[in-house]
């Protein structure tokens, strides 16, 4: 029988407050690296303060998005590599608001784990800080939750939230898209953060490939190809929006081209996609062959090499392609907009 008079602490229950305090001190330089002039609070407060400069906008509209990294985290656990999944976390949020023309202002993160390892958590925060710097947004705050018994040893979950702003008259919503507009695809660098449940089932279970092996067709070890962080397109797209007429933008995530492109198309329009017009990263061919996946499954589950699409006027295509090359983006002219009949699909693969 235990002594009912024995003094217990929160640490006895598995929550180490001192480790949490140490973690906050360790990440202060990472947070500071993302600062914008509008930030008027330090990390550690009850809430982050951000002063919106209304003079920059006629009718500012706030745009918000939240997302996670999904089962790609299983790869981070298996590889014991935690410094890039934070980039994925930021990317999944900020890429979703740039499609409406919004500049990301700030980002909040949520890290939940069974037992806090400050050193591992700092590696995660390095990725979040890097992602925020790539997107030009401030890491305004977050929450680190230590919940014993909720997660397996060494595992954690991540969620993110971002807020951006766009002038109301500059919102990109696809309503101006019309026939003969052209579709530009900006390359992805792999799976980004979608399709990992299927990818792990094919590559790690069915094919039983070791993560440190380099299968035929890949130029890097399998684990390296799978953990490659999601590209952040914010600065490139903002650059284009300043000088060109971008009628529609779609972030190609879960659902692939087949489900994400229709989200920006008027009902009387369809997108005709030339599937041979861009280079596919080698990891997709490995997945297609290993899982015996048909064409529909490839284009619905994965981004298949295109991370973002732009719908633009025909006369601006050449200049936009030149600009994208100057911004170190690999881009392809992958299709065009055509008139759609009522019973037709909104995406046609050719």
Give the mean model confidence (pLDDT) for residues 311-318: 97
Give the pLDDT confidence of 67-86 residue by residue, as tens digits.
999 999 999 999 999 999 99
Helix (H, G, I), strand (E, B) or coil at 331: strand
Q: Which residue has the higher pLDDT, 235 or 49?
A: 235
- Confidence class for position 336, pLDDT limits 50, 70, 90: very high
What span, in angstroms and rounded, lies between the C-alpha atoms of 203 and 166? 41
Give the mean model confidence (pLDDT) for residues 170-191: 95
CATH number 3.30.1330.10 given to 10-170: yes
- pLDDT computed for residue 8 by the predictor: 56
- pLDDT computed for residue 52 by the predictor: 85
Q: Is the pLDDT of residue 5 over 80?
A: no
Q: Is the pLDDT of residue 348 over 70?
A: yes
Question: Of 338, 173, 138, 161, which Cα lies nearest the Cα of 249?
Answer: 173
Q: Which two tokens stand for residue 140?
A: 């305004």
Q: Is the pLDDT of residue 208 over 70?
A: yes
Q: Is the pLDDT of residue 240 over 90?
A: yes
CB-based contact 189:228 (threshold 8 Å): yes
CATH homologous superfamily of 182-349? PurM-like C-terminal domain (3.90.650.10)
Give the mean model confidence (pLDDT) for residues 121-125: 93
**Mean pLDDT for the chain?**
91
- pLDDT computed for residue 20 by the predictor: 65
- pLDDT computed for residue 26 by the predictor: 75
Looking up tokens 């550690």, which residue turns up? 44
- pLDDT computed for residue 59 by the predictor: 93
Give the pLDDT confidence of 216-230 residue by residue, as tens digits.
889 999 999 999 999
pTM above 0.85, yes or no: yes
Q: Is the pLDDT of residue 32 over 90?
A: no
Question: Of 162, 77, 85, 177, which Cα lies nearest the Cα of 127?
Answer: 85
Measure CA of the first residue to CA of the last residue in the chain; give whole Å: 74
Domain boundaries, the chain: 10-170, 182-349
Give the pLDDT confidence of 294-303 residue by residue, as tens digits.
999 999 999 9
- Confidence class for position 99, pLDDT limits 50, 70, 90: very high
Looking up tokens 């596919």, which residue turns up? 280
Question: Of 205, 188, 324, 204, which Cα lies nearest the Cα of 256?
Answer: 188
Residue 107, CA atoms < 13 Å, CB-side half-sphere: 38
Point out the least confidently predicted range of 42-51, 114-123, 130-139, 195-204.
Answer: 42-51
CA 219 to chain centre: 24
Give the mean model confidence (pLDDT) for residues 130-146: 93
Q: Which residue has the higher pLDDT, 55 or 277?
A: 277
- Confidence class for position 33, pLDDT limits 50, 70, 90: confident
Give the pLDDT confidence of 257-281 residue by residue, as tens digits.
999 999 999 999 999 999 999 999 9
């Amino acid at each position: 029988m235990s002594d009912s008079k024995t003094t217990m602490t929160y640490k006895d229950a598995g929550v180490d407050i001192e480790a949490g305090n140490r973690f906050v001190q360790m990440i202060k330089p990472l947070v500071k690296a993302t600062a914008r002039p509008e930030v008027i609070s330090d990390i550690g407060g009850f809430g982050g303060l951000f002063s919106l400069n209304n003079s920059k906008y006629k009718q500012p509209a706030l745009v918000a998005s939240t997302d996670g990294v999904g089962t790609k985290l299983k790869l981070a656990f298996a590889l014991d590599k935690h410094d890039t999944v934070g980039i994925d976390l930021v990317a999944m949020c900020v890429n979703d608001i740039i499609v409406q023309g919004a500049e990301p202002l700030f980002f909040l993160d949520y890290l939940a784990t069974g037992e806090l390892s400050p050193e591992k958590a700092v590696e995660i925060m390095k990725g979040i800080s890097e992602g925020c710097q790539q997107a030009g947004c401030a890491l305004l705050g977050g929450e680190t939750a230590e919940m014993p018994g909720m997660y397996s040893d060494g595992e954690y979950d991540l969620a993110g939230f971002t807020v951006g702003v766009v002038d109301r008259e500059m919102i990109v919503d696809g309503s101006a898209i019309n026939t003969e507009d052209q579709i530009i695809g900006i390359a992805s660098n792999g799976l980004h953060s979608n399709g990992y449940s299927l990818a792990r089932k094919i590559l790690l279970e069915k094919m039983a490939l070791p993560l440190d092996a380099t299968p035929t067709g890949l130029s890097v070890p399998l684990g390296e190809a799978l953990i490659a962080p999601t590209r952040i397109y914010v600065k490139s797209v903002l650059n284009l929006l300043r000088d060109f007429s971008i009628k529609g933008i779609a972030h190609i995530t879960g659902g692939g081209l087949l489900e994400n492109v229709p989200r920006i198309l008027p009902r009387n329009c369809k997108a005709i996609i030339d599937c041979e017009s861009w280079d596919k990263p080698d990891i997709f061919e490995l997945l297609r062959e290993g899982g015996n996946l048909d064409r529909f499954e490839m284009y619905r589950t994965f981004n298949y090499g295109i991370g973002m699409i732009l719908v633009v006027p025909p006369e601006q295509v050449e200049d936009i392609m030149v600009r994208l090359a100057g911004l170190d983006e690999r881009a392809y002219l992958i299709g065009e907009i055509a008139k759609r009949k009522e019973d037709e699909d909104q995406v046609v693969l050719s």
